[in-house]
Amino acid sequence: MRQELRRLLPLLLAASTAVAAPDEDLEDLLRREVEGPSRYAQSLLDAPAPVAVFGQREAALLGHQTVAEMLGRLPGVHLGNSRQYVTVGLRGLSRPGDYNARLLVTVDGFRINDALYDQALPDTEFPLVAEWVKRLELVYGPGSSIYGANALLGVVNLVTLDGADAPGLRLRGGLGSFGTRRALLQYGQGGGSDVFVGVQLLRSRGEDLDLPELGLPGPVRGLDDLRQASLFAKLRHGAWRASLGAVRRDKEVATAPYDTVPGAAGTRFRDAYAFAELAYEEDWSQALRRSLRLGLASSAFDGEYRYPDVENRDTARSLAWHLDARLQWRGWLNHELQLGFDAREVPRGEQRNFDVDPEFVYLDSREPSHRFGLFLQDQWRLSANWQLTSGLRVDHIRSLKPQWSPRLALVWRPRAHESVKLMLGRAFRAPNLVENFYGDGYTQLASPDLKPESLRSAELSWERALDERHVFTLTAYKAYLERTIELGQDEDSGLLRYLNLAGIRTQGLDLGLQGQGADGAQWRADLSLIDARSAGQRLSNSPRWLLKGHWIQPLGQDWSLGLEVQGQGRRSGRVEVPTQFSANAALRWSRAGQQLGLRVLNLSDRKLYDPAGPDNEALLRVPQPRRSWRLDWQWMF
Amino acid sequence: MHRPVRRLLCHMALALLAAPAWAQQSAVELKAQVLVKVLRFVEWPQGSLVEGQPLQVCLLDDGALARQLQSLDGQAVNTHPLRVRPRAGRGAALGGCHVALMGAATTPESPGLLLVGEEAMQAEKGAMLSLLVEDGRVVFDIDLEAARRVGIGFSARLLRLARYVRKA
């Protein structure tokens, strides 16, 4: 996967220098991508896990603007919208209070999950927008044997654009329903020093929301406002790379969480996240390849809660240092060994809760957190058709017992365009600082003695190209999540508290078909069947099936039409949310870098809902966005 | 806007748009290039390829890769000019050939002749070097044992770049 990142630079160098050293030449050729229909399938048949990939072209033609929209197209993913945040569920697991802590998200390999909640939210809370992502790769199944904590259900890696991928200066503007305005500026320059910079400003007045549970006379107006700014910059020179990403988002909250005053302004969330990384990533030289990365990430949350007689605040701050060192070695024929060490040091994770006037402090927690892990992986090609990957990682986290994450993957390639994979593995998630230490003593207690939750899984996948233009995939999986950390009720006090609850068993099937037409048309359809249970009972907020598809149709030289459809089965919660379907459409005109796009979301204007979680106690269900349109244009200079 | 300025901007835009196009090449083009580069790391038996002597690639196939290779005739491989000999009919003599691009049929081994195939290595067909496309990139497998039998060796560096090396 990492090789992908480095593909273009040597290419550019090769183009500018006609005669290169002969051995370098061959290595460059082997890195080059082949064009043709098989590429559109974007499959990774040889990878030791099922991988789904979503690329820039599809995202652009479907009119995507957020990473969440890209992620949402992939099989097994079910996003939720609490009107506070967009949450990520995968294969039926979307637990109350967990926005996305069970999926690891990386940007060019850098861990984005923050140091307090261990989560990475992919919508407007994310430092990157869809336009800056070259490809999104979702690796299904436990990934802890390489990545350590949080790589429980899968790993999402975002490969960002290089300057050479999107050269020149581009300015995009957008207007849409609900008073949405968006401006985006990006600049790319290829060459010896590759530069990419992008900035986005987003503003939306938001919707008027029908929330009958709040007992207000009419819809809640003017409380869905969103303001966001994000930045991403990357400089690449030879084996060196420096990246910087930042986002700040202000969201008014209309759903009256935590008993705040319904329909009144003043309950709002501000989230900020920033990261910087300096990386040295070598290409193969002789039998060895080395990489060293040093990163810094900060996160901040400010919640303001409006109560009848007082204003309450939540603040959370964290700063984390990241170190990642890897050695890859090909000294033994047919083996590729990888040895890695990484560490995350959080000098202080701060959580405070207090009333403003009169001032009263309920919570003032300043806890450090440190973790490091060591892993070894061997990718062994047993024959031309068989490959065995085995790996083991041990993690030391704060005062917890060492966590061992083994993994075994067998890949069989009966023919060039077919692969069968069997994976067995274990992954874990350590309790985060919020689960451990958030407690105000009135509504919620801290829970410092939580144990890590762990997942064991077995997965079998089959992928086959039916012909030059059609690819079929089938994956069956079974997993057991042990000691699930969830918000529960403390037996003695009756207050809320994070607890290690009963295990969750999931099993399911993902069935996918994708194709490409001779005219550049492209489509994909995925059906997921999911059975998730805890103590024999079906899990809440877990659809039994997901159906999604998209179709991109070029219309002549300059025009294209993109359609997306998704449906999911009924989900239980405080009330049952029935089966629902929705569709989006995007029409685009593009010529010589100038673009015009019209996108309509929730085409048929259906009333869609998500089950309400503990953050929306006052509601039975959360209304999802109604029909909206957006108009975007781009100038390229 | 002045016309020349406009034209210039237009050209710039087109050049920028065109840029990613050469990031990808057809599999056949790339395979042919990889083959020629791989040949630099192949060691033929002593005396069968002396300095300056043309390196002869004989085509037993007339598929896309064979046609592509013909366009590379004359390229230098270390000190040797590449000679690509088109298919001269079934059973044509392989005398003087250093490399043979196999067709669908099994080709018998002959001393100092490197058999190159395009399918995942199948020992029975005899390919010593197989060029494949894997996850969008060109890769190659090497059958070390078969190559040794005909006196052909590979540099250690090349073996490390191989996807799979079949040993005895």
pLDDT tier at B123 (50, 70, 90 boundaries)?
A: low
What span, in angstroms and rounded, lies between the C-alpha atoms of A525 and A513? 5
Shortest distance, CA B45 to any CA of chain A (angstroms): 22
Nearest to A29 among B12, B135, B138 (CB): B138
What span, in angstroms and rounded, lies between the C-alpha atoms of A434 and A349? 9
CA nearest neighbour of A457 among A428, A426, A503: A426
Residue A140: both structure tokens together: 């299904």
Contact B164 A36 (CB under 8 A): no
What confidence score (pLDDT) does residue B24 get? 56
pLDDT in tens, A600-624: 999 999 999 999 988 899 999 999 9
- Residue B43 CB: number of other CB atoms within 10 A? 13
Please give the residue that has the higher pLDDT: either B113 or B14.
B113
What confidence score (pLDDT) does residue A515 get? 92
CA nearest neighbour of A416 among A465, A364, A486: A465
Nearest to A39 among B19, B136, B158 (CB): B136
What confidence score (pLDDT) does residue A183 get? 98
Residue B83: both structure tokens together: 């000679």
What confidence score (pLDDT) does residue A284 get? 77
Residue of B nearest to A329 (CA): B160
Contact A32 B159 (CB under 8 A): no
The values of phi and psi at residue A323, to 5°, are -130, 135
Stretch among A234-248, A264-278, A335-349, B22-36 having the lowest mean pLDDT: B22-36
Q: What percent of chain A has pLDDT over 70?
A: 95
Which uninterrupted H or E stretch holds A467? Answer: strand A453-467
pLDDT in tens, A319-366: 999 999 999 999 899 999 999 999 999 999 999 999 998 999 999 999
Burial code (b: 16+ CB inside 10 Å, e: under 16) for A138-156 equals: bbbbbbbbbbbbbbbbbbb
Q: Check whether A36 has a pLDDT greater than 50.
A: yes
Q: C-alpha angle with apex A629: A627 to A634, nearest 5 degrees?
A: 160
Beta bridge partners of A513: A472, A525
The values of phi and psi at residue A49, to 5°, are -170, 160
Beta bridge partners of A185: A171, A199
Which uninterrupted H or E stretch holds A111? Answer: strand A110-111
Q: What is the mean pLDDT of residues A76-83?
A: 96
pLDDT in tens, B16-58: 333 333 345 788 899 999 999 999 999 999 888 888 899 999 9
- Residue A259 CB: number of other CB atoms within 10 A? 12
The values of phi and psi at residue A397, to 5°, are -130, 120
Shortest distance, CA B126 to any CA of chain A (angstroms): 14
Q: Check whether A43 has a pLDDT greater than 80.
A: no
Contacts with B34 from chain A: Cβ below 8 Å: 26, 29-30
pLDDT tier at A200 (50, 70, 90 boundaries)?
A: very high
- Residue A16 CB: number of other CB atoms within 10 A? 9
Contact A287 B37 (CB under 8 A): no
- Note whether A590 contacts B: Cβ–Cβ < 8 A: no
Contact A383 B166 (CB under 8 A): yes
Stretch among A35-39, A256-260, B128-132 having the lowest mean pLDDT: A35-39
Which uninterrupted H or E stretch holds A363? Answer: strand A360-381
Which uninterrupted H or E stretch holds B67? Answer: helix B64-70
Torsion of CA A71, A73, A74, A77, to 10 degrees: 70
What confidence score (pLDDT) does residue B108 get? 83
Question: What's the alpha-carbon Rg for chain B, to the nearest Å?
Answer: 19
In A321-340, the residues whose Cβ lies within 8 Å of chain B are: 330-331, 333-334
Shortest distance, CA A167 to any CA of chain B (angstroms): 6
Contacts with A415 from chain B: Cβ below 8 Å: 120
What confidence score (pLDDT) does residue A19 get? 35
Residue of A nearest to B6 (CA): A637
What confidence score (pLDDT) does residue B12 get? 38
What confidence score (pLDDT) does residue A207 get? 96
What span, in angstroms and rounded, lies between the C-alpha atoms of A623 and B43? 70
pLDDT in tens, A379-408: 999 998 899 999 999 999 988 999 999 999
Q: What is the mean pLDDT of residues A153-162?
A: 95
Contact B136 A29 (CB under 8 A): no
Pairing of strands B114-117, A154-160: unpaired
The values of phi and psi at residue B109, to 5°, are -70, 150
pLDDT tier at A41 (50, 70, 90 boundaries)?
A: very low
What confidence score (pLDDT) does residue B89 get? 61
Contacts with B12 from chain A: Cβ below 8 Å: 168
What span, in angstroms and rounded, lies between the C-alpha atoms of A440 and A443? 6
Contacts with A465 from chain B: Cβ below 8 Å: none
Question: What's the alpha-carbon Rg for chain A, to the nearest Å?
Answer: 24
Shortest distance, CA B110 to any CA of chain A (angstroms): 24
pLDDT tier at B137 (50, 70, 90 boundaries)?
A: confident
Residue of A nearest to B155 (CA): A23
Contacts with A191 from chain B: Cβ below 8 Å: none
What confidence score (pLDDT) does residue A155 get? 95
Q: What is the mean pLDDT of residues A554-571?
A: 96
Which candidate in A34, A45, A169, A635 is best for mutational testing of the B interface (most B CBs within 10 A)? A34
Q: C-alpha angle with apex A139: A136 to A140, nearest 5 degrees?
A: 135
